[in-house]
Structure 1
């Protein structure tokens, strides 16, 4: 008789067991631990942190000012918060509440939605995103939903908890519309056609990932999410009031302080390639704490895996721009490389630099 495989251990279960010491597989190497953060030496002064961009509900009268702010935030940071974005506050709150309802379930009920731990980024409830057995684990559980294109959306695979499925579908559609508006403004801010980045991406693949970060017995040794830049085009994220998301800027880890009703915009690697490095993908991570659980919801807006991503012709030499900084890449190959190598900051996109160019 074939032996049954033990179900994978979830971080929430480890935390609820009341351990005083962190299991070895969650201990980060010394250079990656949050205890050594340079940001603790000097927190950013008001106005010097991650930008907050007021979209004025996309009022045409404010368009030029907003476009300049987006250009600055994309070029200098690659991450920013937006307010007056048009997404109802009630929808954001219902999405956070839906995520909490799932993670409040008994462990046996959550396991009914477990994803295939052998297949990276498979849909469902999991803890481990990488297939590498020797990688340090994140102090995080998650539920990943495949939401776009509609042919991938199957709500029967999602938790059957009141209006959970309806909220995720409504949230997915709202985030798609917001991402499209932001990408159009980003294109125009570089004097490209409004639809340029969208057309370069092609058919959109969207995943919505609810991440749960339990209290950690030794937060100075762990990370909820290791340092990385996102693979796709743009990520839109909301978080509860606990905080923990940080972005890397000029060697400092800068916290993104929770702002009620705001949406966090994180540029991803394919947008950096398309803009020929004019806009940078953001290196970010999540830290944890010993007292309070944290929940966030990320909507990833990505190309089809068959699409080849190249620097925009108008932004490279011959089109009036700088020499091409990146080689083209088929997005599916890029994703495979990311999961094979692991996150590790921007190592994956740096491998595409031409002649090892670095800014």
Structure 2
């Protein structure tokens, strides 16, 4: 428990265990403003122009693998309440957080510093994390923490709304790809896990990372940010800083959508950097297939002129390989390419 950064960090230099090797350090954090990930107004689809909205989403997913959505139907108050309870979670007394920390791999609801591999990893991430499944809600909600007092009710209601938002976005993606209606309304979206990241101020941000460069293994991620910058996306070899937009969600494409789209959509690499003055909190809802779900390029997208570039596999097998090779995008995707 003394490892949790949210319990307070004594003044001084960055502990050696958090210093990344030179080739992985973020270095100069002042990324020039320029290219921005697309912002998509979902009101347009609501008002009847679904085709144009679907086209914009597909274009963003092809070029960036990321986009932000506004006018998505979840109220400003509900978003603020969720961010507030996520922050409150890490501000609880140490003894309350102790109840959420466990080394038991069978526990699905847990808090930890850096990663679940803290004891064996070479360098630690400058973050605390709390995660748990949240779909189907009735299967998991009773396992969530009883404190903060509003956690179960607030996060339960919010997670249902996020799952519905994901369904709306995936419906637009399926239309944009030319897939049948309801393509993703099955085992392809059978799981949803919430991962809350808490990044306290870091004494030397240029030497540390909140999360290393990676792409997400799931289908699609719905990300709720507070108003502190820290998320960066890799595009054409350069890092883009994602500016938080009030009342927006950041959406990113996971590997499974890249595979189902036969490489048309991209799962972009991204990372989280730290800062020396402000605490940052983000909440990622990972929408994923069920473990036994078979993943493969959609038949409607492939033909003799566009053969499948990925083979068929079970999602759980992909996940196992992904976490064994974490951070090495090329190796992960190569292992699941179709034999030429």
Q: TM-score range by the shorter chain?
A: over 0.9
- After superposition, the Cα gap between the structure-2 partners of 1:17 and 1:36, relative to the gap in structure 1 and judged at 3 Å, is closer
| TM-score, length of structure 1 as denominator length | 0.88
Q: Deviations over 1:35-72 (max 9, x none)?
A: 157x83x431xxx3111111116424222221121111
Per the TM alignment, residue 92 of structure 1 is displaced from its structure 2 partner at its CA by 0.8
Q: Is the 8 A contact 1:149 1:203 kept in 2?
A: no
Rounded to whole Å, the distance in 1 between the matches of 2:44 and 2:92 is 37
Rounded to whole Å, the distance in 1 between the matches of 2:182 and 2:92 is 43
2:68 corresponding residue in structure 1: 81
- After superposition, the Cα gap between the structure-2 partners of 1:69 and 1:148, relative to the gap in structure 1 and judged at 3 Å, is same
2:326 corresponding residue in structure 1: 342
1:188 corresponding residue in structure 2: 175
1:11 corresponding residue in structure 2: 5
Q: Deviations over 1:319-355 (max 9, x none)?
A: xx61211122211111112222223445422432346
Rounded to whole Å, the distance in 1 between the matches of 2:330 and 2:226 is 27
Rounded to whole Å, the distance in 2 between the matches of 1:21 and 1:243 is 23
Per the TM alignment, residue 220 of structure 1 is displaced from its structure 2 partner at its CA by 0.3
- After superposition, the Cα gap between the structure-2 partners of 1:235 and 1:203, relative to the gap in structure 1 and judged at 3 Å, is closer
How does 1:104-119 map onto structure 2 within 5 Å? 104-116=91-103, 119=105
Q: Deviations over 1:111-162 (max 9, x none)?
A: 111133x639842211243538134221110111211123531334324223
Rounded to whole Å, the distance in 2 between the matches of 1:206 and 1:8 is 30
Tell me, what secondary structure is at the counterpart of 1:313? Answer: coil
1:64 corresponding residue in structure 2: 51
1:21 corresponding residue in structure 2: 13
Structure 2, unpaired ranges of 5+: none
Q: Deviations over 1:13-43 (max 9, x none)?
A: 3xx2324222222222212211157x83x43
**Match among 50, 62, 69 for residue 37 of structure 2:** 50
Rounded to whole Å, the distance in 2 between the matches of 1:151 and 1:339 is 28
Structure 1, unpaired ranges of 5+: 1-6
Q: Is the 8 A contact 2:137 2:156 kept in 1?
A: no
Q: How many residues align?
A: 339
Per the TM alignment, residue 295 of structure 1 is displaced from its structure 2 partner at its CA by 0.3
What is the Cα-based RMSD across aligned positions, in Å?
2.2
**4+ residue runs over 6 A deviation:** none
1:269 corresponding residue in structure 2: 255
1:139 aligns with 2:123: no
Rounded to whole Å, the distance in 2 between the matches of 1:355 and 1:27 is 40
- After superposition, the Cα gap between the structure-2 partners of 1:10 and 1:53, relative to the gap in structure 1 and judged at 3 Å, is same
Q: Is the 8 A contact 2:44 2:53 kept in 1?
A: no
Rounded to whole Å, the distance in 2 between the matches of 1:8 and 1:211 is 18
- After superposition, the Cα gap between the structure-2 partners of 1:20 and 1:120, relative to the gap in structure 1 and judged at 3 Å, is farther
1:3 corresponding residue in structure 2: none
1:4 corresponding residue in structure 2: none
Rounded to whole Å, the distance in 1 between the matches of 2:339 and 2:196 is 39
1:257 aligns with 2:246: no
Q: Is the 8 A contact 1:124 1:158 kept in 2?
A: no
